[in-house]
């Protein structure tokens, strides 16, 4: 009993002491402090190697497993093996994201080239077909030329779409509600 009293007096006079728990690969050091009173049994903290405000400003400044330990969502601190596996997973994830971004950029570039070709094809007028008369002169054809099978007809990209709303000339019809029917009383 006297030991507990002496320990409590020591804590009140000296303050709580922080125990070193571990470090991450960036050199940040993690500590745990026993608190004599309060709802949580310990207070967890980190001493950043570089800028102290970086953890506040950047949510990904700390490794996720250490961040979970600091917030008491993880009971035990992460082991070096767990940190190494998480680092490998994150490296693989970055490579995959970089590959997806490269494929997406190539796809966008290909779509832009295709759109430019389509615009160029639509913008250039097709050569007019002329019927040759027996005298050697050229006369314009009276019938419309049929599209060649090698060139499919494409819709005009500048054509207005069909109007699906009622339009400007639409007016609502007059409506008068019918009088409410009275409930019948008695039996007839």
129-155 tens-digit pLDDT: 555 555 555 455 545 555 555 565 777
Chain segment 13-70, per-residue pLDDT in tens: 666 678 899 988 888 899 998 776 666 678 888 888 776 665 566 667 788 899 899 8
Residue 112's pLDDT is 92
Residue 107's pLDDT is 95
Q: Is residue 74 located within the same domain as residue 6?
A: yes
Rounded CA separation 34/186 (Å): 84
Q: What strands, in cross-sheet order, belong to the sheet with 29-34?
A: 18-23, 29-34, 42-47
In a domain, 185, yes or no: no
Residue 25's pLDDT is 85
The conformational region for residue 101 under phi > 0 = left, psi -120 to 50 = alpha, else beta, is alpha
Distance of CA 52 to the CA centre of its chain: 29
Q: Is residue 18 located within the same domain as residue 53?
A: yes
What range defines the domain where residue 111 resides?
79-124
Over residues 155-171, the mean pLDDT reads 69
Of 24, 54, 78, the last residue of a domain is 78
Of 33 and 3, the structure prediction assigns the larger pLDDT to 33
Rounded CA separation 118/120 (Å): 5
Place 127 in a pLDDT band, splitting at 50, 70 and 90: low
In a domain, 132, yes or no: no
* Runs of H (alpha helix) within 71-79: none
In a domain, 153, yes or no: no
Give the count of domains, the chain: 2
- Give 18's strand partners: 33
- pTM equals 0.47
């Amino acid at each position: 009993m006297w030991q507990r009293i002496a320990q409590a007096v020591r804590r009140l006079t000296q303050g709580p002491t922080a125990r070193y728990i571990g470090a991450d690969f960036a050199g940040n050091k993690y500590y745990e402090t026993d608190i004599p009173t309060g709802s949580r049994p310990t207070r967890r903290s980190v001493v950043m190697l570089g800028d102290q405000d970086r953890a506040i400003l950047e949510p990904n400044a700390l490794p996720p497993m250490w961040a979970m330990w600091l917030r008491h969502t993880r009971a035990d601190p992460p082991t070096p093996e767990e940190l190494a596996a998480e680092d490998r997973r994150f490296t693989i994830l970055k490579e995959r994201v970089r590959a997806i971004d490269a494929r997406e950029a190539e796809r966008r570039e290909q779509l832009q080239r295709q759109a430019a070709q389509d615009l160029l094809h639509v913008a250039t007028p097709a050569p007019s077909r002329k019927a040759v008369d027996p005298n050697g002169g050229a006369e314009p054809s009276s019938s419309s030329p049929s599209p060649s099978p090698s060139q499919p007809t494409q819709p005009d990209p500048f054509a207005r779409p069909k109007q699906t709303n009622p339009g400007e000339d639409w007016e609502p019809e007059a409506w008068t509600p019918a009088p409410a029917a009275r409930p019948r009383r008695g039996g007839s």
